[in-house]
């Protein structure tokens, strides 16, 4: 067991953060596997289909790292737990719109937030092993984020992407929930001592989410012709603008 020098509530907080991340990585693996299929059916360039397959494989590796860390901090993780993968895009959209919706939500939004979080965590790692895991995750998540931007750039010249604008608040809501922006906090959630163990204190989580949206996601979407008015209103309303 690692982290035995820490107060038990803090160690438990770290262990449960890594267990939660394991679950997120398993879901990401299943999502990329399905996206690879959808991209193929949508006639996307082979390079993007291949990138989705590779991303699924990356997420499998990430899940293993997260499970090992959760276990080492004292939270057992079942590695073969099955994943229920919901479709996040509304059924009212066409197949090609749903494919684009999932790629934008999973890659342009969620993976970009992960990149911001990992960039903050990597230099604060308290051990060589933690640094190596965070480095590997960061390198891969950057590529996963690019898959979404590349697909958006691929479809934008030939299909309308403006429909995404009205759904952006739902995507932000889902990513904010996944990025653990809880409304009720325990004292452990804001402890700076979380950082060397690869876990962000809550206050930093909020500001990193806000800056990823402001500096990368909103400008990127606008550049491809996606209207961001409703998303910017959502961010303002939640104090993240």
> Which residues lie near Fe ion (CB under 5 A)?
25, 59, 62, 141, 144
Judged by beta carbon, residue 25 or residue 102, the one nearer Fe ion is 25
Find the shortest distance in angstroms from Cβ 57 to Fe ion.
11
Find the shortest distance in angstroms from Cβ 188 to Fe ion.
24
Find the shortest distance in angstroms from Cβ 110 to Fe ion.
8
Find the shortest distance in angstroms from Cβ 26 to Fe ion.
10
Find the shortest distance in angstroms from Cβ 143 to Fe ion.
8
Yes or no: say if 196 and 130 are a contact pair by the CB < 8 Å rule. yes
Judged by beta carbon, residue 61 or residue 202, the one nearer Fe ion is 61
Yes or no: say if 115 and 145 are a contact pair by the CB < 8 Å rule. yes
Judged by beta carbon, residue 11 or residue 144, the one nearer Fe ion is 144
Integer Cα distance of 25 and 66 in angstroms: 8
Judged by beta carbon, residue 11 or residue 62, the one nearer Fe ion is 62
Find the shortest distance in angstroms from Cβ 223 to Fe ion.
22
Find the shortest distance in angstroms from Cβ 174 to Fe ion.
15
Judged by beta carbon, residue 10 or residue 49, the one nearer Fe ion is 49
Judged by beta carbon, residue 113 or residue 191, the one nearer Fe ion is 113
Judged by beta carbon, residue 10 or residue 152, the one nearer Fe ion is 152
82 contact partners, CB below 8 Å, separation of at least 6: none
Integer Cα distance of 174 and 88 in angstroms: 9
End-to-end Cα distance, the chain: 41
């Amino acid at each position: 067991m690692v982290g035995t020098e820490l107060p038990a509530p803090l160690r438990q907080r770290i262990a449960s953060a890594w267990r939660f991340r394991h679950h997120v990585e398993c879901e990401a693996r299943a999502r990329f596997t399905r996206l690879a299929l959808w991209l193929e059916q949508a006639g996307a360039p082979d390079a993007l289909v291949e990138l989705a397959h590779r991303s699924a494989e990356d997420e499998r590796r990430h899940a293993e790292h997260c499970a090992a860390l959760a276990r080492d901090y004292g939270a057992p993780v079942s590695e073969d737990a099955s994943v229920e993968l919901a479709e996040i895009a509304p059924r009212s959209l066409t197949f090609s719109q749903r494919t684009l919706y999932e790629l934008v939500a999973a890659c342009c939004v969620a993976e970009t937030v992960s990149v911001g979080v990992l960039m903050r965590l990597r230099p604060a790692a308290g051990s060589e092993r933690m640094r190596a895991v965070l480095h590997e995750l960061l390198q891969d998540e950057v590529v996963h984020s690019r898959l979404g931007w590349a697909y958006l750039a691929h479809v934008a010249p030939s299909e309308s992407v403006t429909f995404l604008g009205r759904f952006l608040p739902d995507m932000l809501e889902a990513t904010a929930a996944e990025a653990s922006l809880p409304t009720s906090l325990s004292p452990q959630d804001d402890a700076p001592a979380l950082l060397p163990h690869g876990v962000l204190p809550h206050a930093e989580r909020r500001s990193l989410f806000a800056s990823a949206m402001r500096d990368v996601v909103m400008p990127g979407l606008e550049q491809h012709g996606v209207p961001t008015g409703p998303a910017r209103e959502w961010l303002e309303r939640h104090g993240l603008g």
